[in-house]
Each structure stands twice: as structure tokens, then as C-alpha cells.
């Protein structure tokens, strides 16, 4: 690189057609400018004239030029025409934190980060793949009615020149992934972006300058986001925990982050995450199930409402992967049963070959039952097997009349969405049976109370 001449900028300075305005300086190496046509912009130069700053700045101009087709990247409106540019002007944008305010709406924060994740996916898929490597709230902006990424000075990809010293630190303090603290050639930069984006989401949502150190573990009270967005935030907690795992290979991809954030937005419409919340009200599950299964609920809602409530119990039972009792009640109408052969209902083609966890059988009528089984595929992957079964009055044998299976990663937004879809399909597939009597039998009533008690106990744990 030839001698790098950084523009000397001060109040009243002019670079090409750009003049400093309002005192000029916005931050280190960044000034507000305006051209003769009245277009507002921000001019940026290298941090210094000694290596590696000039080379990094030249590289940043080149990378941002390559990504100008992405609406989620800060747009370059002018630049030094030289082969080794010493300045560039970008559109005037507002810092994302400033745009969202001191107590941002949680859903608005998630929407902004879903857009940022989508931009990072597109950058990773462009050419040889570009990773940002410096994701933190000060490098996130708002312009053109959307969140955008700026400051690509540390960006790199699989085939891009490495401008980082071996063993050096890459990325922002408190937001940097562990592997970036001792950077080596060949370190995959894309999982590091996942880590930094998740940390940034937490910090912006919580209105904190810095996130907690280390992984955002669900069990830590200081990580809890419910006071900033209510119970819907709990369905993002596991996603943030996975995204900030110490081991890069344990983190989801940026595409998964994008998809899960979008799914969460579909689950929770605007206005569903009020802030501030001084106390999060937790509903007593036992009382909810009592309402679902009460005689009054049967009279008002019929079998369909009972089925809706039962589905929650069925799927919750499938998720109890720790060892537990094989029976919830002394009766035979509702119980946990780990024996796989009872699930198939006489259908040998519908038998999972993975590890069975638990099965909750609910009998509402003598001639029909709903069966669900959870099969743990990995540490978090769960497969639901659900069937409606009818008993032949002559042979008293059970036969499957409808079945479905879903694979989910537990406690993620997509898990919630799949369970909601599955609940609808289970109700739609409910066998045509006579309406049950308004008052359940003592045996069924006891089974229902046992289910509610077990669900309440799980909630208390």
C-alpha cells in the first residue's frame, strides 16, 4: 500500500463536494456532512495512518461496495475515487438504540433483529461469503424504515484476506464469541456473528449497554427478559441460550436464527409484549386444566374444548424426558406408559425406532382415545407421534383412524408454532362420536384431576 493520506477534518472542512455541518464530528473517525445539493451524509476515514488501519479501511470500502444490493446494509453514496480510498460517505442513519428508545417495545426489537439476521444470511451467501465480525449495538442503524448493518471494517469471509494478527482479539468486548478472543486462520467467522447478534438483541431489548458475560443461560435471573416483554419472551430464551453457547458448533446457524425470530413474530402480534412490566403473572396450570376439564366446561364447550385441553397435557407429557412414574392415576383412563407396542394400535408400520420417552393415553369415550408419544432424538430434538384410535365394539381391538408426527427442537418458537398447528389438526381429526354425557364418570374425573395435578407439579418444578 502506498502512503496513506487521511483527510484532515475539522469544523468547516470540505472533502470533494462534502462539507462538514453542525460541528461535524459524530464519533471517532465519523463526521456529519452535506453536499451542494443538500444531501445529508456521514463521512468516514481510517482510524489512523499506520497499519493495519489504512488497509482495513480500504477493505471496508470494498466490502460495503460489494453489498450495496442488500437493503439491510448501510448505503454508500460517495467515496474517494482513488484505488486506495481514504474516505467514503454513507447515508445519514439513526443509531438503532436511539431509534428504539430507552424502553423499546420487545416485539419491535425482535422485528429489527429478524431483519438484521436476514441481511447477515444474505451476506454469508454472497460470493465467497462475508461475515461481519463486529456486531454490536453501536454498529446497528435505522434508516429507510428498517434496521441496517454498518461498519464492516472487520468483515471477512472464507476467501478474503485475513487482516487479523494470529492470536489477536476480533470483535467487540462483551459481545464477542469466545473463539474470537484468540483468532486463528481458519476460525469460522459465521458462528461468531450468531453469538454477537444474540448478545446484541439481549442488550437492546433490556436497554443495557452490555449483556451478561458468557452464554445467556435460561436459569440465570440476570438473563431473564420477561420483565421487558412478558411471557412471550420465554419462547426466545432457549434460542438466545443456544446462540451464545461456548462451542461454535453448538450454535444454530444464522438462517435458523432468522427463521425462529420470524416464527416468534408470527406467534405474537403487535401489542402482545407490553413494556415496562413490573411483575409477570404466571397462570396456575392446575387451575387452567381444572377449567378445561370441569363439568361446566363440558356443558359449555363440549368434547372439542376438552380435547383442546387434553392436547396440551398430551404434548406436555411427551416433553417430560426425565424418569417418572408410569401412571398418573389408579384408573385406566389416563396414564403415562413407556411401552412402545401399545402406541401402534395394531399398525406395525407406525412404530418409531428411536428412544421412547413417555406416552400419555387419554380415554374420553369408551370407543375412542387419543394417544401421543414423545421420542427424544437428540439433546433437544423431540418427535411427536400422535394418533386417534377407535375400538371395534365386536373385537374390542383398537385401530388407528388418524395419525401424525412432528419433529421439533424443544422450547424454540418453531416448537410453539408446531404444537399449535398440531392441536388444530388433532381437533379437526377427532373421530365422529356421540357427544359425551355432561357429567364424567368418577373414573374419568379422577384421571382428569390426576392429569391437572401432574401438570401443576411440572410447572412448580
| pTM score of the predicted model | 0.78
Q: Name the band, by pLDDT with cuts 50, 70 and 90, for residue 67.
A: very high
Q: What is the largest CA-CA distance in the chain?
A: 96
**Separation of alpha carbons 372 and 317, rounded Å:** 9
Q: Name the band, by pLDDT with cuts 50, 70 and 90, for residue 330.
A: very low
Which one has a higher pLDDT value, 439 or 373? 373
Domains and CATH numbers, the chain: 14-91 (3.30.200.20), 95-267 (1.10.510.10), 285-460 (no CATH)
Above pLDDT 90, what percent of the chain?
A: 35
Count of other CB atoms within 10 angstroms of residue 213: 8
* C-alpha cell recorded at residue 4: 496513506
SS3 state at 88? strand
DSSP letters for 151-164: --TT-B-TTS---S
Label residue 154 exposed, middle or buried (CB < 10 Å: 0-12, 13-18, 19+).
buried
Check pLDDT > 70 for residue 3.
Answer: no
Q: What is the mean pLDDT of residues 227-233?
A: 89
Least confident of 41-50, 135-144, 221-230: 41-50
* C-alpha cell recorded at residue 412: 424454540
* pLDDT at site 239: 96
**Separation of alpha carbons 215 and 207, rounded Å:** 18
Which one has a higher pLDDT value, 368 or 241? 241
Label residue 253 exposed, middle or buried (CB < 10 Å: 0-12, 13-18, 19+).
middle
Q: What is the mean pLDDT of residues 283-289?
A: 35
DSSP 8-state class, residue 411: T
The segment with the largest mean pLDDT, out of 50-59, 163-172, 318-327, is 50-59
Whole-number average pLDDT of the chain: 75
Check pLDDT > 80 for residue 371.
Answer: no
The segment with the largest mean pLDDT, out of 14-28, 158-172, 239-253, is 239-253
Which one has a higher pLDDT value, 148 or 291? 148
* pLDDT at site 197: 98
Q: Name the band, by pLDDT with cuts 50, 70 and 90, for residue 334.
A: very low
Rg value, the chain, Cα: 28
Check pLDDT > 70 for residue 346.
Answer: no
DSSP 8-state class, residue 289: H
Q: What is the mean pLDDT of residues 182-192?
A: 85
Check pLDDT > 60 for residue 274.
Answer: yes
CA torsion 44-92-209-51 (nearest 10°) is: -10
Which one has a higher pLDDT value, 274 or 286? 274
* pLDDT at site 144: 96
* C-alpha cell recorded at residue 457: 407439579
Q: Terminal CA-to-CA distance of the chain, rounded, Å? A: 63
pLDDT in tens, 190-226: 999 999 999 999 999 999 999 999 999 988 889 999 8
Q: What is the mean pLDDT of residues 278-304?
A: 42
**Separation of alpha carbons 379 and 382, rounded Å:** 9
* pLDDT at site 378: 66
User: Are 75 and 65 contacting, i.e. CB atoms less than 8 angstroms apart?
Assistant: no
Amino acid at each position: 500500500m502506498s502512503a496513506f493520506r487521511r483527510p484532515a477534518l475539522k469544523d468547516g472542512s470540505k472533502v470533494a463536494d462534502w462539507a462538514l455541518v453542525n460541528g461535524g464530528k459524530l464519533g471517532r473517525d465519523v463526521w456529519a456532512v452535506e453536499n451542494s445539493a443538500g444531501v445529508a451524509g456521514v463521512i468516514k476515514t481510517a482510524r489512523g495512518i499506520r497499519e493495519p488501519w489504512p488497509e482495513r479501511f480500504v477493505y471496508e470500502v470494498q466490502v460495503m461496495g460489494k453489498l450495496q444490493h442488500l437493503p439491510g446494509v448501510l448505503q454508500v453514496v460517495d467515496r474517494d475515487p482513488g484505488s486506495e480510498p481514504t474516505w467514503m460517505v454513507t447515508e445519514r442513519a439513526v443509531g438503532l438504540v436511539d431509534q428504539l428508545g430507552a424502553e423499546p417495545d420487545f416485539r419491535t426489537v425482535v422485528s429489527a433483529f429478524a431483519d438484521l439476521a436476514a441481511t447477515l444470511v444474505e451476506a454469508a451467501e454472497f460470493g465467497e461469503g462475508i461475515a461481519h465480525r463486529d456486531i454490536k449495538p453501536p454498529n446497528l442503524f435505522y434508516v429507510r424504515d428498517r434496521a441496517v448493518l454498518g461498519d464492516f471494517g472487520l468483515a471477512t469471509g472464507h476467501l478474503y484476506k485475513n487482516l487479523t494478527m494470529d492470536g489477536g482479539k476480533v470483535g467487540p468486548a462483551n459481545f464477542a464469541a469466545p473463539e474470537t478472543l484468540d483468532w486463528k486462520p481458519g476460525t469460522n467467522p459465521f458462528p461468531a456473528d450468531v453469538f454477537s447478534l444474540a448478545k446484541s438483541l439481549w442488550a437492546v431489548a433490556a436497554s443495557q449497554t452490555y449483556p451478561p458475560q458468557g452464554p445467556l443461560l435460561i436459569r440465570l435471573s440476570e438473563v431473564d427478559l420477561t420483565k421487558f416483554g412478558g411471557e412471550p419472551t420465554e419462547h426466545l430464551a432457549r434460542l438466545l441460550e443456544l446462540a451464545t453457547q461456548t462451542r461454535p458448533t453448538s450454535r444454530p446457524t444464522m438462517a435458523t436464527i432468522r427463521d425462529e425470530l420470524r416464527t416468534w413474530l408470527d406467534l405474537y402480534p403487535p401489542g402482545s409484549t407490553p413494556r415496562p412490566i413490573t411483575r409477570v403473572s404466571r397462570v396456575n396450570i392446575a387451575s387452567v386444566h381444572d377449567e378445561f376439564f370441569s363439568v361446566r366446561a363440558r356443558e359449555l364447550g363440549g368434547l372439542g374444548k376438552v380435547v383442546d385441553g387434553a392436547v396440551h397435557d398430551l404434548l406436555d407429557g411427551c416433553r417430560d424426558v426425565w424418569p417418572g412414574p408410569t401412571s398418573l392415576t389408579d384408573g385406566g383412563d389416563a396414564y403415562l406408559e413407556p411401552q412402545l407396542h401399545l402406541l401402534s394400535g395394531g399398525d406395525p408400520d407406525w412404530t418409531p425406532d428411536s428412544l421412547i420417552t413417555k406416552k400419555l393415553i387419554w380415554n374420553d369415550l369408551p370407543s375412542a382415545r387419543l394417544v401421543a408419544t414423545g421420542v427424544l432424538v437428540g439433546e433437544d430434538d423431540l418427535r411427536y407421534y400422535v394418533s386417534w384410535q377407535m375400538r371395534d365394539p365386536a373385537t374390542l381391538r383398537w385401530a388407528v383412524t388418524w395419525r401424525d408426527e412432528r419433529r421439533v427442537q424443544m422450547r424454540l418458537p418453531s416448537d410453539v408454532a408446531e404444537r399449535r398447528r398440531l392441536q388444530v389438526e388433532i381437533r379437526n381429526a377427532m373421530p365422529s362420536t356421540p357427544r359425551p354425557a355432561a357429567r364424567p364418570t368418577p373414573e374419568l374425573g379422577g384421571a382428569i384431576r390426576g392429569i391437572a395435578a401432574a401438570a401443576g407439579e411440572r410447572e412448580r418444578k
